[in-house]
Structure formats: structure tokens, C-alpha cells
Amino acid sequence: MAVLKIDNVSKTFGETRVLEDINIAMAEGEFLILVGPSGCGKSTLLNMIAGLETISSGTITLDDTPVNDRSPRERDIAMVFQFYALYPNMNVRKNIEFGLKMRGVDKGERAKTVERVAKMLQIENLLDRKPAQLSGGQRQRVAIGRALARDPALFLFDEPLSNLDAKLRVEMRTEIKQLHQRLKTAMVYVTHDQIEAMTLGDRIAVMNEGRVQQLGTPHEIYDNPANRYVAGFIGSPAMNFIECEFANGSVRLSSPEASLDLALPEATADKLAKHGQSKVVMGVRPEHLAPADGDEANALACPIEIVEPTGPDTYLLTHINDIEVTARCTPSVAPDVGTTMPLTFDTERAVFFDCQSDERIA
Amino acid sequence: MAESSPRAGKIAATPWRRRLDRWLPKVSLVPSGLASLIFVYGFIAWTIWLSLTNSTLLPTNNFAGLRQYKVLFQLDIWWVSVANLAIFGILYVAICLAIGLFLAIMLDQKIRAEGWLRTIYLYPLALSLVVTGVVWKWLLNPSLGLQHFVQSLGWTGFSFDWLINPHMAIYTVVIAAVWQASGFVTALFLAGLRGIDSSIIKAAQIDGASLPRVYLSIIIPSLRPVFFSAIILLVSLAIKSFDLVIALTNGGPGYSTWLPAIFMYDFGFNRGQIGLGAAAATLMMAAVALAMLPMLIAELKERRDGRSH
Amino acid sequence: MAGPTEDGIQRGGPIARLLIYGVLVLAALYFLMPLYVMLITSFKTLPQISHGNLFSLPAPFSTGAWSSAWSNACTGSDCTGLHRYFWNSVAFTVPAVAFSTLFGAINGYVLTKWRFRGSELVFGLLLGGTFVPFQMFLLPMARVLGLIGLDNSLAGLTLVHTVYGIAFTTLFCRNYYVTIPDELVKAARIDGAGFIATFRHVILPISTPILMVCVIWQFTQIWNDFLFGVVFTSGSEHPITVALNNLVNTSSTGVKRYNVDMAGAIITALPTLVVYIVAGRYFMRGLTAGAVKG
Ligand SMILES: Nc1ncnc2c1ncn2[C@@H]1O[C@H](COP(=O)(O)OP(=O)(O)OP(=O)(O)O)[C@@H](O)[C@H]1O
Ligand SMILES: [Mg+2]
């Protein structure tokens, strides 16, 4: 049974098309991430699920009931907002129980729920405070508590952590994950932070310009990006995109100092051959472009221009086919700037895109 | 946790309730929108229409073209009213601006009792213009007011009888009106001064400019928007002036302090010349619109510039 | 000599400072003088007025003028003092302030949190009306009030003041509600609150400052109004401003009683003056907000 089904949904504001043909189905208990750049329509989609925005075309189904014309109060959902949206005139207790009150839950029941939620989020000592007397992290906790109190069929989160400082963000991220594991309620979580997306999601929908570019598990998204946009959006440092000529089962790569015909695995070469265009874009993640370990036959000698130590890894910057690329190595083998180093390509993991359409070829 | 409490869940709604939810916001604007359409725009049209009829004691629908305006322009009292408005308006605006700017600059010098002073400067605005008129009528009363007071100090030749002097009475209106509004203009300018970045002043002083120089060449020019809104405000207040004159001079001596607003009231309601009253009102509205024009143009320009960037 | 103050700006030396304070105090005296004269005159007797001077304190203190102004001074043809007109003013000011503030709050709420196609148009209509001189409305309104049987009545004045006050209260509230995050309303809707419940439980409780501005602005405007009062009412239905004018300017019988005039003026001014002193902060905010589009 699908908790949430979004079928061919589009949204226009006046003349502008904000969302186009969105299709997502969510299983019970799933944690779905919507990720994408600012302005791509994530909040709009979430608001449509919540009933806060009208649906221009298509259908949204909750618990197998189409809800296009239902107001938020008729949908069994709760939402946590980026700027907390706590009612400033009510103390924490009243904030948490407001949704229950509006739904006619009696006083005793409400008190019990507030107690349970406060305990779960460790905010018992804050219950009598006003939102203005809370820190950012505490406010976000209360906002989550307000959603929890309702015990809805579906939680919606709209960038709930983007207002917190880095350390708190990591802590809260873990807590939300634990919460989900405990409640096993379906959640839709909007973020533009790819780490959040990767760590929290059962599945991720990568969005851009009003479309879902790819919907899949974090692994699928990372290892098998559907197009160049998804490949570039997920992963940090970003994937290297090297334009190159494909001929006879290999691609031609050149650094300022050397050239190499890199032989591709058979399956990949077949797909590229079938595609029929010689000019392609090769995508290689930095961790799949590393200093050669002895075997230099399939390596390209590259002058290292910049060395960036980050602690666990060191990144090396150089140019291949006149494009700046990043390679990753362990700090112990990091070379000095200016030295020339042979780099090898993990051809099994490399992906290829069409030059024009940016769609995945192989 | 689900077992410990019943699901609050969703609320079933009847179609009727759903329709209500959708329409309530729109419906709640209807009274105001309707009232505005009828009582503002409808009435404007109605008054303009009346000014084009030959209505006298009772409104009629006999179209008379611009006859009322022709009659109006041949009436000496109308031109007296217009001339008075010009004198009053110009002096009122100019003096209010001068006093307002001066006091605001003085108040902006880190004054200890600023809050108190501001409260004192501003209180006249809380008074009814009728009260202001009554007070100044008493102060300007030649036999017992200020003239009498100065004379009793020994300066027996002192004369200040403007209130009963047809040539000077309009200036008493200026005196009272300025007293009422200049504190408000002070507050406007003070708010404007507070909006100026003080580091500009410091920078100018480091460059060797004296404080008066800084005011003249940096601060006052940057108060342009305040001048703008203060002038528009004062001009439209001047055009609408009515209560003060009624209470202070009742238009007299003779017609010497009539203003278009008094003309409109007197012809429209006392003399049974509805058409003329409507014509006077229409011209007053046109005058206010004219005064607003610069602001509208500036706003439109700003919007266009804002878009092109 | 001149030295930098804590804000780092060079100001004049002590003599210049003294001069500035002198000017400011003089200005304060100028603004206060009429109030002072009004007060002392109201406590004088007529002989004291005609023989003493304008600024001298009353000796002895007499409250005769006050009781006369309140209960038996002549305002035109009848001589019952200002008290009934005072209560007239209360009777239409209070409901007109309440209605126009309520409508303003609801309008502001819809215009910012429940926008729909055409809502901006309604706002534009309301705003446009604030520029028009009231003289444009007098003749038609007199006619309409007559037609619906509200001419010469406090109910009629209530209607007029409500109608022409809504544009201002709407403007104030809209500008305030724009600063309240939309997410608050979204959260309330998700929590199950509809249009009314959101307004009642979420918006209204945080509207106190702007409601104060509306109430004070409207109260001052309506209480002080003279034009509508003189045009739409007559005789016993007059508001206090009109009655005061009649008290002062229809000297039908005998000597002019300046002390009674002044007491009457203070009685008329007192309510708005008290409001100004108690809640001047909000008064100022309303002024500047109203001034921008006044
Ligand atoms: N009410 C509206 N009217 C017109 N356009 C709108 C409206 N709301 C949103 N948009 C537009 O729709 C697009 C998507 O907005 P949305 O808020 O959904 O983006 P988002 O992905 O949530 O971005 P962010 O990460 O910055 O929150 C934006 O281009 C925005 O300008
Ligand atoms: Mg968003």
C-alpha cells in the first residue's frame, strides 16, 4: 500500500511552470528525500502534499485516497518548517497540543501526549517557556514535537535543520534518523544538503528545474546517476566531467605532459559504440582517479597543480583535456605541488554522458 | 507510541464545510470592497455627476454640462477662497517645514530630554482642530488676549488685531495651523535624520567639514524623501482645511478667511446650491490629485527602474 | 572646547550646547503655552479674566466654568452644557473604532495570508480612497443616509466613520501582517485550524501592537472629527466638537464667557489627550504609518 502517491503532478504559478510531471510513490515507513538546488520547487511540492498549495494538474493520493481537493486538516499529515513556525504567543506545551486541540482531543489525552512527546525529545523542562525563550536547537525540537504529537500517517520536513549551526545540525540529523527508526512512520524530507540526503534517506529524489531527475536509493543515485546533473549534484568534491573522443573501445585523454588511450571495459565500450557519437563526456569521481600504485601502464602522467589536504584525504588538482579535475589520495602518498604524478582511472566505475543532452550513455 | 494514544488523524469534512473554507477568505473581504466601491468610488462618480447637473436645493439629473463650473468661476467668493488657500497653503507648508527641520536638527544633537521634548512638540496633533481654533481665537482676541497682555506690559502702542482685520485674518489661520502641525513635521524629519548612517557624518568630519557644513551639504539633501512626503501631507491637509477656520474665524470677517472646503460646505448644505458645492468638491479632489502627482510619478519611475535592474 | 562624544561625532562646545537647549526649551514653551492659557483661563472667573492678564494664575481657583461648560452652557439654542454631546461622541466613536479596527484586522489578514486572484485589487481600491478629500463624499452620503433612515443619527455617524476608517486600519494591519512569516499560518492550517481558528488562535494574539495603533489612530480621528458631525447631524445629535464650536461661536446671549469656552475646549480635548499621553508610542507609529499614505 502506498502512503503517498504523486501522479503526473504539475504546478504553475500564473505563467511560470514550477513543477512538471512529478511521479513518486512512497511505501509505508519509507524515508524519502527531496533534494535539489534552491528554487527547484521542493517546497512547492511539499506544500502540495500538505494541501497548502493547489495542484495544477495530476493527482496526489494519500492512503489510497485522492486528496487534490482536501484541505490540510483533512489530510493525516504533520509538517516541520525551516523557520520553526512556532506560535509565538503560546508556550511550548500549548504549541505541541494545538493540533490536538483543533482536532477536538480532550484535555486529559492532550496532557498525556504532550508528556510522552516531551519525554521522547527531552524537552520536559521547556514546556512552560515561550518560543522566544528557546535556542534555535530547542525550537526545532519543539517544532518536531508538535508534529509528533499528532501521530500522523506522514511527516513532512522542509529543510528543518538548515537554520542550525553545523554541529547541532549533525546531532539533530542523527536524532531524526533515530526517530524514524523508532516510529516507522513515512517521512518526506526536503533538503539541499547532499550529506543529509545521503545519510537519512531510504530513497532520494533529485530535483532540478521542476523535474525529478532521478529517484532511487542513495547507492543508486551515487553509483548510477541517471544524467550529468544528478552525477554532479551528489558527491563532494563533485564528479569530474572530462570531454573526450571515443574510438576503438578506448577514450583519448591528455594532460599537459602526456597522452593516453584509456581502454574501457567491454560492456561500456559496446554501449558507447552503439550510441555512435565519438564525442562523449566521461564522469569520474575523485576517489576513482588515484595515484598509480606501481602499475603505470594504464596511467596518465599529470603535473599536480594544487594539493588540498582535508585530514583523512588529500585532493590533488590537475588538468586533463584542458578541464580541471580532482583526484583523491591518502595523505601518506600525497606529492608536492609541481611534481608530475601518474594517475589511474577506475574504468569500472566511470560513467559516460551524451555531450548535448547530458543523458547517461554508459 | 501509536498504541498509547488514539490517532488524532484527519478530520472528515462535509462538502459544505469544504466550500465554506474555500470561500470564507474571499467573502470576508466583500464588505470592505463593496463599501469602498459604493462609498468611495460610487460617491466620487456621483459627486462629479452632480457637478454636471443643475441641482440646487435637491439633487436633480438634468445634465447642464460645465455650467456649474462656469458659475463657480464667476463668483468672487470662490476666487477669494482659492486665493486664501494659496496664501494659507504656501505659508503653512513653508513654515511647518522650516520649524520642523530646525527643531529636528536641534533634537538630533544627543539631547538629554529628547523623549519629553518630542512628546510636548507633538501633543497638539492629538487635539481636535476645533479645540485649536478655540484656543487661538482666545489668544488672538485683541481686547483680552496677547495684544492686551503686551500692552499691559507697558508697550501701549502694540497692535496685534489680525483676527478682526479682514486683510490679516487668514494669517491667524496660518499661525494656529502651524502650531498644530509643526511638531509632527519635526517628528517626521527626526525619523529621517535617525535613518542616516552616522558614519557618513564622521567620515565628512574627518575630511575636515564643520558640523553646519555637513548638515547643509550632506544631511539635508539626503532628507529629500522626507521633504517629499511631508509636503504632500501638508498640502493635502491644507486643501481639506475646514474645522480650524470654522472655529477660529468662521470664515470671517466677512468672507476674508473662506477656503474651498468652506465654500463647498456653505453652498452645498446652507445655500442649497448642490451643483456648485459638488463642483467645488470635485476641484478640491483634482487639486489633491495634482499634489499627489509628483509622488505617483516618482513611485512609478522607481518601480520601472527597479524592474530594469 | 569641542570634543568628540561617544558616537564619535564632533559637536559644538558648551556655549553652543546651551544655545541648543535654550532654543528647544523655548520651542517647548511655545507648544505648551496655549494649553497653559486654556487651563488657567478655565479656572478663572470672568472679572479675573477682564482685569488680570492672560498668563496669571487664577486666584482664587474657581471651578464654576467647568460645571457650567459640562451642564448648563448654551450650545446654540439649548443650554444644557456639553455633557450630552460628550456622550454622543462616546456613543458613536466606540463602535466605529471597534468596527473599523476589526474589519481592518480581517482585511489585513486576508490580504497577506489568504491572497487570491483579485485581492490586491481590493487593496488598491481601499488605498486609493485614502487620498480623496471627504468633501467628495458629503453630498451623496447625506442623501444615502436620508434614504436608509440614518440621517441625523449616531448610527449614521458610526456607519460613516467605520466606512472611511477601514482603508487606514487595513493599511496598518496589512503592513504589520506582512512581517509575520507565512509559515505560521501554514503550520496552523496543518494543525487543523481553518480561516477563523487561525485568526483567533494564532494571528490575533500577536496583533496587540498593531491593534493598539489602529484603535488609537481611529479614536483620535473619529473623536476629533468635525466635518461629518456638522454635515450629517443637527441639534441634540451633534458630536462634542460641533457642540464646542456652537458653544464658542454662537454668542447669542450677553457676555462672552471665555472661561467656559476654555473649560469646554479642555473637556473636548481631554479624551484624545489622555490617550496620547498614555499611549503616545502607538500614536506616533500610527502617524508615521498613516503619513506615508495619508
Ligand atoms: N506563490 C508563488 N508565486 C509565484 N512563484 C512562486 C510562488 N511560490 C514559489 N514560486 C516559485 O516557484 C519556484 C519554486 O519555489 P520553491 O519555494 O518550491 O523552491 P525550493 O526548491 O523550495 O527552494 P529553496 O531551497 O530555496 O527553499 C521558485 O522559482 C519560486 O520563485
Ligand atoms: Mg523551500
CATH number, residue A66 = 3.40.50.300
Q: Which H/E stretch holds residue B164?
A: none
Residues having CB closer than 6 A to ligand 1 are A 13, 16, 18, 36, 38-44, 192
A78: nearest Cα among A205, A189, A197, A203:
A189
> Are B257 and B249 in contact, with CB atoms under 8 Å apart?
yes
Same domain, A190 and A74: yes
Measure the CA–CA gap between B82 and A116, rounded to whole angstroms: 76
Q: Where would I find the H helices in chain C?
A: 14-42, 46-51, 64-71, 83-113, 119-129, 135-147, 154-177, 182-190, 195-198, 208-224, 227-232, 240-249, 258-292
* Cβ atoms within 10 Å, residue C79: 14
Q: Which of C184, C190, C206 sits opposite A77 (nearest CB)?
A: C190
Output the CA A19–ligand 1 centroid distance in Å: 10
Same domain, A102 and A192: yes
Tens of pLDDT, residues C50-75: 787 888 888 888 888 888 888 888 87
User: Which residue, of A211, A233, A255, is where some domain finishes?
Assistant: A233
> Are A135 and A168 in contact, with CB atoms under 8 Å apart?
no
A173 grid coordinates:
540529523
Q: What is the pLDDT of residue C289?
A: 60
Tens of pLDDT, residues C133-156: 999 999 999 999 999 999 899 999
**Model confidence band, residue C103 (pLDDT cutoffs 50, 70, 90):** very high
Q: Kindly give the pairing relationship between strand A77-80 and strand A154-158.
A: parallel
Max Cα distance, chain B (Å): 99
End-to-end CA distance of chain B: 55
Inter-CA distances, A245 with A242, A249, A250, A361, A362, Å: 10, 11, 8, 14, 15
C9: nearest Cα among B103, B220, B109:
B109
Identify the residue whose cell numbers are 553545523. Answer: A166
Per DSSP (E only), the strands in A116-178 are 154-158
3-state secondary structure at position A281: strand
**Which amino acid belongs to residue A340?**
T
**Model confidence band, residue C286 (pLDDT cutoffs 50, 70, 90):** low
Q: For residue A282, give its domain range.
A: 240-354
Q: What is the pLDDT of residue C288?
A: 63
In a domain, A360, yes or no: no
3-state secondary structure at position A251: strand
| Residue C290, pLDDT above cutoff 60 | no
| Residue C179, pLDDT above cutoff 80 | yes
Does B11 contact A105 at a Cβ distance shorter than 8 Å?
no
Q: Which H/E stretch holds residue B47?
A: helix B43-51
Q: What is the pLDDT of residue A243?
A: 92
> Are B288 and C143 in contact, with CB atoms under 8 Å apart?
no
Those residues of chain A that have pLDDT short of 70 are 1, 295
* Cβ atoms within 10 Å, residue C277: 12
* Cβ atoms within 10 Å, residue B197: 9
A144 grid coordinates:
518536531
Q: What is the pTM of this model?
A: 0.87
How remote is the C-alpha of A206 from its chain's centroid? Answer: 6
Strand order of the sheet with strand A65-66?
Answer: A16-27, A2-13, A57-62, A65-66
Measure the CA–CA gap between B242 and B264, rounded to whole angstroms: 10
**Which amino acid belongs to residue C113?**
K
Strand order of the sheet with strand A306-309?
Answer: A306-309, A314-320, A323-329
Tens of pLDDT, residues C227-243: 999 999 988 899 999 99
Q: C48-72 as b/e, with b when 16 or more CB fall inside 10 Å?
A: bbeebebeeebeeebebbbebbbee
Tens of pLDDT, residues A251-264: 999 888 888 888 88
C35: nearest Cα among B107, B131, B169:
B131
Same domain, A341 and A322: yes
The domain limits of chain B are 4-50, 75-308
Cβ-based neighbours of C31, under 8 Å, separated by 6 or more: B120, B121, B123, B124, B179, B183
Measure the CA–CA gap between B179 and C33, rounded to whole angstroms: 11
Tens of pLDDT, residues B37-80: 999 999 999 999 999 988 877 878 878 788 889 988 999 999 99
Q: What is the pLDDT of residue B213?
A: 84
Tens of pLDDT, residues C2-43: 444 556 566 667 888 889 899 999 999 999 999 999 999 998
Inter-CA distances, A134 with A111, A138, A139, C207, C272, Å: 21, 6, 6, 21, 40
Same domain, A254 and A211: no
**Model confidence band, residue B253 (pLDDT cutoffs 50, 70, 90):** confident
Which subunits have 3 or more CB–CB pairs within 8 Å of chain A?
Answer: B, C
> Are A225 and A345 in contact, with CB atoms under 8 Å apart?
no
Specify the DSSP class assigned to residue A53. Answer: S
Residue A285, phi-psi category: left (phi > 0), alpha (psi -120 to 50), beta (remainder): beta
Ligand 1 atom nearest residue A40's Cα: 21
A40 grid coordinates:
527547484
The alpha carbon of residue B301 is apart from the nearest alpha carbon of chain A, in Å, by 25
| B24 in contact with C, Cβ within 8 Å | yes
In a domain, A261, yes or no: yes
In a domain, A70, yes or no: yes
C163: nearest Cα among B33, B76, A292, B228:
B33
A276 grid coordinates:
555512435
Identify the residue whose cell numbers are 473581504. Answer: B29
Quick one: C157 exposed, middle or buried, by C-beta within 10 A (0-12, 13-18, 19+)? Answer: buried
Measure the CA–CA gap between A309 and A234, rounded to whole angstroms: 21
CA-angle at A214, arms to A210 and A218, nearest 5°: 125
C224: nearest Cα among A168, B133, A90:
B133
Question: Which chain B residues are Cβ-neighbours of C244 within 8 angstroms?
Answer: 128, 130-131, 134, 247
Question: Which chain C residues are Cβ-neighbours of B265 within 8 angstroms?
Answer: 135, 138, 227, 230-231
How remote is the C-alpha of B283 from its chain's centroid? Answer: 17
Q: What is the pLDDT of residue C205?
A: 93
CATH code of domain C83-289 = 1.10.3720.10
Question: Which chain C residues are Cβ-neighbours of A79 within 8 angstroms?
Answer: 186-187, 190
Phi/psi at A207 (nearest 5 deg)?
-115, 150
Tens of pLDDT, residues B114-150: 888 988 998 998 999 999 999 999 898 888 888 878 8
Does A73 contact C194 at a Cβ distance shorter than 8 Å?
yes
Measure the CA–CA gap between C210 and A145, rounded to whole angstroms: 31
> Are A52 and C115 in contact, with CB atoms under 8 Å apart?
no
How remote is the C-alpha of B74 from its chain's centroid? Answer: 28
A317: nearest Cα among A335, A295, A296:
A335
Same domain, A108 and A212: yes
Inter-CA distances, C44 with B109, B141, B143, Å: 40, 17, 17
Q: Which H/E stretch holds residue B13?
A: none
Tens of pLDDT, residues B212-249: 888 888 888 888 888 888 888 888 888 888 999 999 98
Residues around ion ligand 2, judged by CB within 5 A, are A 43
Same domain, A203 and A256: no
Q: Does domain B75-308 have CATH number 3.10.20.30?
A: no
Same domain, A293 and A311: yes
Best of C183, C190, C210 to substitute, by most chain A Cβ atoms within 10 angstroms, is C190
Measure the CA–CA gap between A139 and A117, rounded to whole angstroms: 14
**Model confidence band, residue C287 (pLDDT cutoffs 50, 70, 90):** low
| Residue B5, pLDDT above cutoff 50 | no
B142 grid coordinates:
485683541
> Are A264 and A347 in contact, with CB atoms under 8 Å apart?
yes
Measure the CA–CA gap between B279 and A253, rounded to whole angstroms: 87
B98 grid coordinates:
522650516
**Which amino acid belongs to residue A98?**
F
Choice from A16, A44, A189, A211 to test ligand 1 binding pocket (greatest atom count within 8 A of CB):
A44
Does C193 contact A98 at a Cβ distance shorter than 8 Å?
yes
The domain limits of chain C are 4-65, 83-289
**Which amino acid belongs to residue C19?**
L
Per DSSP (E only), the strands in chain B are none
Which subunits have 3 or more CB–CB pairs within 8 Å of chain C?
Answer: A, B
A82: nearest Cα among A196, A180, A6:
A196
**For residues C109-137, average pLDDT:** 90
Tens of pLDDT, residues B72-115: 899 999 999 999 999 999 999 999 999 999 999 999 888 888 88
CATH number at residue A260: 2.40.50.140
Identify the residue whose cell numbers are 466583500. Answer: B30
| Residue C292, pLDDT above cutoff 70 | no
Per the structure, the count of domains in chain A is 2
3-state secondary structure at position A254: strand
% pLDDT > 90, chain C: 53
Measure the CA–CA gap between C226 and C219, rounded to whole angstroms: 13
Average confidence score pLDDT of chain A: 90
**Model confidence band, residue B4 (pLDDT cutoffs 50, 70, 90):** very low
